[in-house]
Structure formats: C-alpha cells, structure tokens
Chains A and B, each alone.
Chain A
Amino acid sequence: MNASRPTTTRNLTIAALGVVSFVVLAAMPEFAGQGDLRLMIEIFTVFAFAQSWNFLAGYVGLMSFGQQLFIGLGAYFLFMTSNTWGINPFFLLPLVFVFCGLFAALVAPFVFRLRDAYFAISIWVIAEIVRLFIAQKDWLGSVSGLPLVVTRDMDRTVVAVSTYYVAAFLAFLSVFGLYWLSRQKIGLALAAVRDNEGTAAAVGINVWWTRFFGFVLTGGFAGVAGAVYYMSVFHVEPGGAFDANWMVVMLFIVIIGGVGTVEGPIIGTAIYFLFRAWFAGTGNLYLMLLGAAAVLTMLVASKGLWGVVKNTTGFEPFATRRLPPRQS
C-alpha cells in the first residue's frame, strides 16, 4: 500500500495531539481558579453544542434550527430526575443521552419527511412546543424554572471540578470522537449520504437509517452538553434553555470556523468568546455583529476561516480524506 505512509504519520500526529490535549485538560483544575473553571465549563459546553450542530449540518447533511430543543430537553430531564429521586446528577448523564436520543428517534420519522429549510424549521417548531408546554406546567417549574437541589449539599469545589471534567470530556469527544467517527464505516456512509443521496443509495447505503443514526446521536450528545451546561449554573428555565439565541451562537461558531470540519468550530468558539468579552456590554450590537459576521462569511468564504487556512497552507490535521502518495 503506497498510501499508507502519510496516513500513518497523520495517525501518529492525531494520537500525539490527543494525548497532549488529554493531559492538558486533565491537569487544568490544578492551575485554574474557581472563576476560570466556570468560564472553561461554559466554553467547553458551548463548543460541544456547536460541534453537535456542526456534525448534523456538516457531516449528516441535515440542517436544523432547533438544536436548542435538545439542550433544553437534556437540562430539564436531568433536573427533573435528579430532583425527584435525589440522585447525583453526574450519574444521570448517560440516561440524559438515552432520553434525548430516544426523543430524537421518536420525532425523526415525521421531520424526515421535510427537507432543507422546512426540516430545519420543523425542529424549531418542536422546540417551541416543548418550551410552551414546560412554561405552562407548574410541576415542571413553569416560567420561572427549576433549581438543581441535589448538588446544593455537596462540596462546591468537588462539584465545580467534576463538572469541569465532564465538560472537558465532552469537548475532547467532540474533537477526537468526531474525527474517529468520521473515519468509521458509518462516518463514511454519512459523508456519502450528505454529498449525494442517490449515489449513496446506489452503492448500498441505507440513506434513511444512516441519517437517522446521525440525528439520534447528535440529539443525545447535545442533550448531555445542555445538561452539563445547566448543571454548572444550577438553575434552568424554559425561556433560556429553549432560547433560539442558542442557535445564533452555534451558527456563528460553526459558520465562522467552517461547516463540516473538525477544526473550524475550535476557531469559531475562540472568536465567539473573544467577541463576547469585547462587546458583551453592547447588548444588541453584539448580536448584530454575530449575524453580520455570519452573512459576510457566507458571501466571502462559505467554507469559513478554517477553509481559508486549509486552502492557503494545506494544513489539515483532522483530514478524513486519504492523501495520495507524495510525488518527488
């Protein structure tokens, strides 16, 4: 196999990157203060939101405007089960994945009948239904929301550090897990379905089930990320958890960085948090800037910043394509 050499070096690079980031992430709480830790939890969970949307749009080829549905669902499921049975919320996270995945699996047969923007908005409609439903029910905390009771009696530092580890793990997964997945058989099938349904079907890929898998996976993942985000703020309310502005943030991060790449949203998240630090006081101007930046990116470089970097330097550590043997 001629092509194996560059692939092997790349695998080594990825493995090295993985080990380094794992060690850095794991060692972080030793050096960071409480406030830094909280900010990092936020950065990592928001990054995980963005990657879940990036996976859906850029890898599965399904664009959704309702990813906040899973963020809110995950948070509410965690808060309700933890408060009702007094269970440590950290143990519930796998259940959150199952619950949100199941919810996605239940709605998928119906929303899959719609395509493109109509699919995107139908999920938004579902998010609105759930939000309005929760806002009306007193046992779900109605408009004012729910507190997280169980973690109140625990040691604050332990809770903060544990939440940090979970968030860091999610961020790690959304880089290396995504890369790993995109190189598996199912990941290649997803790419084929995204690029051309007809051809994918012709080579024996079950288009519907492949999409279904992607949709359920991203729903579960976004749910866990949402649960972790709201665990770190100890309070959830329907207006915030199902806020369409989550969508604005995810879109901004992914579009600016580059849809359908592993690296893009990392840049996007960095830019988003810098933006927020600079313009947070300006309120609406800040949101306007996010929107304008997205419009501009679509007009100038629709592959995002990472696309520009990739084209000019050829640097692409998380490439899923096999490189041809280098000509000397």
Chain B
Amino acid sequence: MIWLETIANGILLGGLYALIGLGLGFAFGVMRVVNVAQGDFIVAAAFIGLYLYPWTPVHPILVILPVALIAFGIGILLQRLLINRVLGHDQIPQILLTFGLAIVLRNGMVAWFGANSQSINVGNMRFWGFNFLGMRLGVLPVVVLVIAIVLFAALRFWLNRSRMGRIIRATADDHQVVQLLGVNYRNVYAVAMGLALALSAVAGVLLAMRGSFTPYSGADRLLIAFEVVVIGGLGSFWGMFIGGIVLGVTQLLALKIDPSAGLMYGHIVFFIILILSPQGLSSLFSMKVFRK
C-alpha cells in the first residue's frame, strides 16, 4: 500500500513537472528557441509569488494569477528586447544569450534575496488530506495536479480553436510564409514567449507552495523541464504530460529506496528512455501539435 501511495504521490508531483516542461516545450515548438534561462525564470516567479501572496485576496493559491500576468509581460519584453535580435538560422547565439541571462538572474537573486531556502505559505491547506481507495493523499498536491491538467487542456484548446492559436501554429510551421499573409512573426514570437514564461511562472509558484526553493534551484528546474520535453518527444503535448509523470514517480520511488539520491534516478531514467526510444515516448502516442 505504501508503494501505491508513493506512486500516486509521484503522479501528483509529475503533473507539476509536466507543467514545468510545458513552457520550455511550447517555446521550442513555436520558435525553435530553447530558453536556457527558463529554470531561473521559474525561480524568479517563485520570488515574485513570495512577495505578492500576503496581499492576495480569498486564498493564497490565487497568487498564481498576478504572477502569471507579470511573467507574461516579462516574456514579451525578453523576446522583443533580446531574443528577437539574435534570431536566425544559427541557434547558438540564442542559447548563449539565454545562458548569460540565466547567470545574471541567478546571481542577482542570490544578491537580493540571499541564498536561504524559502517557501510560499498556503496556510492550513498544506496539512489537509483525504483518504482515497485506502491511500492518504494531500489536498494541495491534488489541486496542483488539477491546475496543471487544466492549463494543458486550455492551451491545447486555445491553440486549436482561437484565431491567435491558429496564427501561432502557422508561425510554428513556417515563419516565412505567414509574413505573406500579413503576420509579423516577431510579434507572434513575443506572445509565445510571454505565454511560455507565464506557464512556467505558474509552475514555479506551485512548486514553491509544495516544497521549498533557493535562488540556485533554477538549474534543477531547467533539467527537469528539459527532461520532460525530451521524454515527451520534442513538441508533443500529452507526451510531455506523461514525461512529467514518469519523472515524478521515479523520483519519489527512488527517494523511498535511497533517500540521499536527489534527482539522480530521474536523470538515469531519462537517459534510459533516450537510449531506448530516441523520439521520446511520443512515438507511442502520435498526438503532436506542431509537427506533422
């Protein structure tokens, strides 16, 4: 039973991991840009959440809304002021630019907030739990998983049905051709980066509610995001979701067996999947959004 409970908790954590990967995967799917600073933006969002939640009405968990809005704005600025300037056939300038940005962000946060471990306090909700099929599960992790599923579904629906969603998909397919139809792909990219950061920001705040974070957590977050995207098969939506769950379950099972392992077994599972199935798990589920 204890194992089943661990697996269930792993699935709950995995939903959140999937959300961490979603921002990175979305940005990659649309722009072929890999934002290496994603992990540090996630941590920055957690800090913003930490300062905003005392002023949030109704319930602290609603702090994800203002943080997501701020992150959306930052994403648009980031793309317009920096990344759009180095776009091109060669990916190396973008990657190096965001890597430099990650260093600045991380060390800036250490300088401002100190290197202490922090956490966003959601009050009593942290201790609430319920019994389900004989397992004891926390309310907060379930709420987090539900938020993750809703965001995945909403993004997918929005991309498929809305006008902007269609424009984004068209830009992802061929950013040259959409210009013939009167679309400025740089603006589309800015919106896409805003969305990517907003999604990551929600993940960052939720992660800060479930556990703790330091300014140095960014690197681990980035690795998780990246593993989720690769396991899911670059650009596949539900593949990413499953990738997150695989990682979440692996990590909790590993911590049960070997408490000092940290993320090691997650990394190893990622590597095994990479060896067995280079296209990621999505070769099993062909529900790709961006590529045919």
Give me the interface of A with B, judged by CB distance under 8 Å: 57, 63, 65, 110-111, 113-114, 116-118, 120-122, 124-126, 128-129, 132-133, 136, 244, 248, 251, 255, 259, 283-285, 287-288, 290-295, 298-299, 302
Using a CB-CB cutoff of 8 Å, which residues 21-74 of chain B contact chain A?
Answer: 34, 36
Please state if A63 and B230 are interface contacts (CB–CB under 8 Å).
no
CB-defined contacts of A129 to chain B, threshold 8 Å: 264, 267-268, 271
Checking B91, B111, B227, B258 against A116 with a beta-carbon cut-off of 8 angstroms, the contacting residue is B91
CB-defined contacts of B106 to chain A, threshold 8 Å: 287
Q: How far is the CA of A291 from the CA of B40 in the complex (A)?
A: 13
Please state if A128 and B223 are interface contacts (CB–CB under 8 Å).
yes
Please state if A288 and B111 are interface contacts (CB–CB under 8 Å).
yes
Please state if A291 and B103 are interface contacts (CB–CB under 8 Å).
yes
Please state if A299 and B223 are interface contacts (CB–CB under 8 Å).
no
Q: How far is the CA of A299 from the CA of B98 in the complex (A)?
A: 11
Please state if A133 and B34 are interface contacts (CB–CB under 8 Å).
no
Checking B95, B110, B260 against A120 with a beta-carbon cut-off of 8 angstroms, the contacting residue is B95
In the complex, whether B274 has a CB less than 8 A from a CB of chain A is: yes
CB-defined contacts of B226 to chain A, threshold 8 Å: 118, 121, 125
Q: How far is the CA of A293 from the CA of B104 in the complex (A)?
A: 10
In the complex, whether B123 has a CB less than 8 A from a CB of chain A is: no
Size category of the B interface is 35 or more
Please state if A291 and B260 are interface contacts (CB–CB under 8 Å).
no
Please state if A132 and B261 are interface contacts (CB–CB under 8 Å).
yes
Q: How would residues 73 to 88 of chain B score, 1 for a CB under 8 Å from any chain A CB and 0 otherwise?
A: 0000000001001100
Q: How far is the CA of A285 from the CA of B111 in the complex (A)?
A: 8
Say how far B115's CB is from chain A's closest CB, in angstroms: 9
CB-defined contacts of A290 to chain B, threshold 8 Å: 103
CB-defined contacts of B93 to chain A, threshold 8 Å: 298, 302
Chain A residue nearest to B32 in the complex (CB): A116
In the complex, whether B211 has a CB less than 8 A from a CB of chain A is: no
In the complex, whether B262 has a CB less than 8 A from a CB of chain A is: yes
Checking A63, A117, A120, A291 against B102 with a beta-carbon cut-off of 8 angstroms, the contacting residue is A291
Please state if A118 and B230 are interface contacts (CB–CB under 8 Å).
yes
Please state if B270 and A125 are interface contacts (CB–CB under 8 Å).
yes
A sample of 6 inter-chain contacts (CB < 8 A) reads A128-B223, A132-B261, A291-B99, A291-B101, A291-B103, A294-B100
Say how far B38's CB is from chain A's closest CB, in angstroms: 10
Please state if A291 and B100 are interface contacts (CB–CB under 8 Å).
yes
In the complex, whether B129 has a CB less than 8 A from a CB of chain A is: no
Checking B85, B229, B258, B260 against A299 with a beta-carbon cut-off of 8 angstroms, the contacting residue is B85
Using a CB-CB cutoff of 8 Å, which residues 206-224 of chain B contact chain A?
Answer: 219, 222-223
Q: How far is the CA of A122 from the CA of B86 in the complex (A)?
A: 23
Please state if B223 and A124 are interface contacts (CB–CB under 8 Å).
yes
Please state if B100 and A295 are interface contacts (CB–CB under 8 Å).
yes
Please state if A121 and B103 are interface contacts (CB–CB under 8 Å).
no
Using a CB-CB cutoff of 8 Å, which residues 241-292 of chain B contact chain A?
Answer: 258, 260-264, 267-268, 270-271, 274-275, 278
Say how far B45's CB is from chain A's closest CB, in angstroms: 19
